[in-house]
Amino acid sequence: MSSEMGLFYVCVLLLCCSSFTNANLAPDLLQLSYSVCESVPVGQVAFTLEGSDPENDPLTYALEDIDAKYFRVEPNTGTVYVDASLDRESKTVMSDLRVIIYDPFQSASFRIYVVIDDANDNRPIFEEASYETTVLENESLAPLCSK
Contacts to Ca ion by CB under 5 A: 24-25, 38, 53, 55, 57, 87-89, 103, 118, 121
Shortest reach from residue 118's CB to Ca ion, in Å: 5
Q: Measured between alpha carbons, how far is 127 from 23 in angstroms, rounded to an integer?
A: 65
60-64 sheet: strands from edge to edge: 60-64, 98-102, 107-111
Q: Measured between alpha carbons, how far is 11 from 44 in angstroms, rounded to an integer?
A: 52
Q: 89 or 139: whose CB is closer to Ca ion?
A: 89
Q: 55 or 139: whose CB is closer to Ca ion?
A: 55
Shortest reach from residue 116's CB to Ca ion, in Å: 9
Q: 68 or 101: whose CB is closer to Ca ion?
A: 101
Residues recorded for the chain: 147
